[in-house]
Structure 1
Amino acid sequence: MTEFFMPMKPPTATHQEKKVTIVNGKPVFYEPDDLKAARAKLTAHLGQHVPEKKYTGALRVIVKWLFPITPSSKHYDGEWKKTKPDTHNLNKLPFDIMTELGYWTDDAIVASEIIEKFWADHPGIYVKIEEL
């Protein structure tokens, strides 16, 4: 099992925000600056927790996204976050990064995902990986 907490303001840019432009009549996909920044931030944090051995079997991954409460906010610590980004978009970028960093052979082995998002006094991202 691998379990860790990354204290940070979680990025809100998701993998689905890639852009497309036309070069020489052909579409070319690229990452806008906010997505590049999110990738760099997550890579730096996730790189500190790479397991010694790649996971190869079926996995359950629990990810809890804790977004910061601003002073003017009416939210409270532990309150469910009901606004964007959507939970189904949150894990794509970190899972791709975790694959690149060698957490597992391929993120297709993640057979179970639990994704939650909250408002929190101490923002960050909690990750737990367990073999099934």
Structure 2
Amino acid sequence: MTTEFFMPMKKVPTVTHQTKKVRVVNGKPMFYESADLKAARSKLMAHLGQHVPDIKYTGPVRLITKWCFPITGNHKDGEYKYTKPDTDNLQKLLKDCMTACGYWIDDALVVSEITEKFWAELPGIYIRIEEI
């Protein structure tokens, strides 16, 4: 089974899972999501919800993602983006959202990842999931 799609987005979410906040309540730390993180999660869930496979993946998969960011400065379409955010930080929130949407039984099934960032005339996120 293979799932493949592109989610066009004028503004690709750049907030990362690491932006959780902490506050102390009755002497105990309580973690919560910032407004930006909640908005990014909501945006990803809305886009991902349109492409959920009919059957959840239950075995090992390869996840290929291409993050396409709006062109700024002197960059060209298809040029690698070598500035923040880091790919590993982008992937964490994306995989958590894919798990919540029902793409697979657990994101631990992702045994191989190919992640790239580009400047692009058409911003968005390309996703391909392949059974291994």
Q: TM-score range by the shorter chain?
A: over 0.9
1:69 offset after TM fit, Å?
A: 1.0
Q: Using the alignment, how far apart are the partners of 1:25 and 1:74 within structure 2?
A: 50
Return the offset for 1:128: 0.1
Cα RMSD for the two superposed structures:
0.7
TM-score, normalised on structure 2? Answer: 0.96
Question: After TM superposition, where is structure 1 displaced by more than 2 Å over at least 4 residues in a row?
Answer: none
1:32 is matched by which residue type in structure 2? S
Q: Distance in 1 between matches of 2:65 and 2:127?
A: 5
**Identical pairs, percent:** 70
What are structure 1's unaligned runs of at least 5 residues? Answer: none
Q: How many residue pairs get matched? A: 130
Structure 1 position 94, deviation (Å):
1.2
Give the superposition deviation at 1:101: 1.1
The correspondence of residues 1-132 of structure 1 with structure 2, limited to 5 A, is 1-8=2-9, 9-70=11-72, 73-132=73-132
For residue 37 of structure 2, give the secondary structure of its aligned residue in structure 1: helix
User: Amino acid of the residue matched to residue 39 of structure 1?
Assistant: R
CA deviation vs aligned residue, 1:78-122 (integer Å, no higher than 9, x gap)? 111111100111111111111111100100010000010000011
5+ residue gaps, structure 2, are: none
